[in-house]
Amino acid sequence: MVAAVCVALLLTSAAPGPTPEPAAAPAGVQPAGQPTVQSPAPPRVSYEDAERMARAGDTLRALEAFRALAAANPDDFDSIVWLGRLLTRVGRRAEAIDLLQDVITRSPRQVDARVALGAALLTSGRVEDAYAVVQDAEALEPDSADVLALKGRILRHLGRPSEAYVALDAAHALSPRDEDISVVRERTRRMIAHRAHVSLAQEASGEIPEATIVDADVDLHLDDTVRVFGRVQWQDRAGFDDARGGGGVEWRLSRRVVGRGALLISPGSPRLARADVGGEVEFAAGRTQTTFGLRYLDFAGARVWIIAPAISVDVNDNVALAVRYYRSESEFRPFGRRAGNDSGAILTRWQAARRLSLGAAYARGNESFDIVSVDRLGRFRADTVAGGVRIDLRSLTSVAVGVEHQWRSGDRQLTRVTLDLVQHF
C-alpha cells in the first residue's frame, strides 16, 4: 500500500543588519591621505570543518569548502575525493566520475577514490563498471569496511543478493557501529529470507456495499534465481463470503530480466473469478524498470483479458516514481457482449528515513487488480487517492498502514484502510 508524502519544515536563522558604509570615492580616484588597502579574502574552511559539514548533511556548503581546498592544493586527494562524493550526492555524477578517475590516474593506490568512484558509477546505473572498480579496491585493501559495503551494494544490483549479504556481513563485523552498513545489510537479509505476509483491509461507504478483505501469502526463497509462493484471499462483502487460493513463482532469467507467474482459483464463487492466471516480465536498465503483464480471468458469467504495461524509475536512492496502465476487455456470457476499460495509476515512494518510507498514489479507473470482482467488470469509472507509511523494524518485521479514498460515478464514495504485516525469516 502506498503512503502519503510528508514535507519537512525548513528553519532559517536571522543575521544582524549591515553596518553603514562611507560614501565611495569616484572610480579611479584614491582618497587623499589614505593608503591603498585590498579587501581580505574570505577565510578558507578547514578540512575538518568541511568534513563535519558533509557528514551533517550540509552538502552545498561542504561542496564549496572542498572545492576551495582542492583548488588551493591540487594534490590534496582527500579533499578531492570528498568533492567527488558530494558531487555524486547532488546528482552531478559525470563530473564526479571524471574527477575521481583523475585522482586514481595520479595516485593509483587511492582506495577511497575507488570507493567513491564505484558509488558514483553505481548511482549512474553503470553497475558492471562499478563492480570492476570495487574489485580493484578490494585487491588493494581487502579488509576495508567501506570497500566491502560497496561490494555488497553492487552485488545486490547484479542480482546476487546472497553474495551481497556475505560482503555486507563482513563489513558490519569490521564496522559494527556504522548505521548505514547495518541498514543495507538488514535490507539484503530481507531479500534472501523467506517471507510471511498478511493484509487486512476494511472498507466504509454510505452508498457502496462495504467489504472486509484478508490477503495472506508465504513466499519461499529457494535461491537467488527462484522464489515460490502460496496465497489465500478472503472477503466478506454485503454479507457474502468469497475465498480463493493458489500460488506462483518468480524466476530471475538474467540480471536484467525477471519473470513472474501465478494461478488463483475460486471454484463455485459467483463474484470472484473461477480461475485467475497471469504472468509478467520485468526488464531493468540502469535506474529504470519496465514491466509488461498479461492476465486472464474466467468468471461464471464473463471472460476478462488484461494487459498491463508499467514503468518505474528510481529518481535517486530515496525517491521512486512509477506509472502503470491497464487495458481490460470483458466478454459477457451467454450473448458475447463486449466492454473495454482503461485504468492507470501514478505512484511515488520516498525513503524518508532509514526505517521509514512514505508514499502516495493517484489512480483513474480500477485502482487495484488484486481481487477483481464482477462489479468491476466492463466500464468502471472512479478516481482514487491513496497514501500510507511503512516502518521496518530490526526484527525483520515491517508494518504498513494505508488509506485510500475513492470517488465513483453517481456521487458514490468509498474509504478503505489497510494494515499490512510482513515477517521475514
The pLDDT of residue 52: 94
Q: b/e map of 147-168 (b: 16 or more CB within 10 Å)?
A: bbbbbbbbbbbbbbbebbbbbb
pLDDT for position 68? 94
Asked if 226 contacts 200 with a C-beta cutoff of 8 angstroms, the reply is no
Checking if the pLDDT of 424 tops 70, the result is yes
Q: Percent of the chain having pLDDT more than 90? A: 74
pLDDT surpasses 70 at 296: yes
222-227 contact pairs (CB < 8 A, 24+): 223/162, 224/159, 224/160, 224/161, 224/162, 224/192, 224/252, 225/251, 225/252, 226/250, 226/251, 226/252
Distance from C-alpha of 197 to C-alpha of 326, rounded to nearest angstrom: 26
SS3 36: coil
| pLDDT tops 50 at residue 1 | no
Grid coordinates in use for 213?
478483505
pLDDT at 79: 96
Higher-scoring residue by pLDDT: 333, 149: 149
Please report the pLDDT score of residue 189 as a whole number.
97
Helix (H, G, I), strand (E, B) or coil at 24: coil
Q: Classify each residue of 204-220 as buried b or exposed e, where b means 16 or more C-beta atoms within 10 Å of its C-beta.
A: eeeebeebebebbbbbe
Which CA distances in Å does 274 have to 217, 304, 333?
19, 12, 14
If DSSP codes are grouped into helix, strand and coil, which group holds residue 413? strand
Report all structural domains of the chain as residue ranges with CATH numbers, in order of start.
Answer: 47-191 (1.25.40.10), 193-424 (2.40.160.10)
| pLDDT (mean) for 357-385 | 87
Would you give the DSSP letter of residue 375? G
Residue 330 cell numbers, joined = 470483458
Please list, in sequence order, all residues whose beta carbon lies within 8 angstroms of the beta carbon of residue 409, skipping any fewer than 6 positions away.
381, 382
121 neighbors 131 (Cβ within 8 angstroms): no
Mean pLDDT confidence for 13-17: 36
Average pLDDT over residues 54-62: 93
Sign of CA dihedral 100, 103, 109, 112: negative
Residue 99 has pLDDT above 90, yes or no: yes
Contact 188, 156 (CB under 8 A): yes
Cell matching residue 215: 490477503
Which pLDDT belongs to residue 43?
A: 57
What pLDDT, on a 0 to 100 scale, did the predictor assign at position 228?
A: 98
Confidence grade of residue 95 (pLDDT, cut at 50, 70, 90): very high
Between 299 and 41, the more confident residue is 299
Residue type, 253: L
Summarised one tens digit per residue, pLDDT across range 67-83 is 999 999 999 999 999 99
Q: What single letter denotes the amino acid at residue 168?
A: L
Q: Would you place residue 11 in the very low, low, confident or very high pLDDT band (cuts 50, 70, 90)? A: very low
**In this predicted structure, what is the pLDDT of residue 34?**
42
Sequence-separated contacts (24+) of 146-150 with Cβ below 8 Å: 146/111, 146/112, 146/115, 146/171, 147/111, 147/114, 147/115, 148/174, 149/175, 149/178, 149/180, 149/181, 149/184, 150/115, 150/118, 150/119, 150/122
pLDDT at 345 exceeding the cut of 50: yes
What pLDDT does residue 41 have?
A: 46
Lowest mean pLDDT among 37-51, 81-95, 137-151, 208-222: 37-51
Model confidence at 414: pLDDT above 70: yes
254 contacts 261 by C-beta, under 8 angstroms: no
The residue with cell 560614501 is 23
pLDDT tens-digit series, residues 348-369: 999 999 999 999 999 999 887 7
Residue 39: its pLDDT value, please?
A: 43
Answer for the pair 414, 379: CB distance below 8 angstroms, yes or no: no
pTM of the complete model: 0.78
Residue closest to 215 by CA, chosen among 377, 423, 1, 420: 420
pLDDT at 210: 83
Give yes or no for residue 63 having a pLDDT over 80: yes
Q: Mean of the per-residue pLDDT values for the chain?
A: 88
What confidence score (pLDDT) does residue 3 get? 38
> What is the DSSP annotation of 52-112?
HHHHTT-HHHHHHHHHHHHHH-TT-HHHHHHHHHHHHHTT-HHHHHHHHHHHHHH-TT-HH
The band of 379, judged by pLDDT with boundaries at 50, 70 and 90, is confident
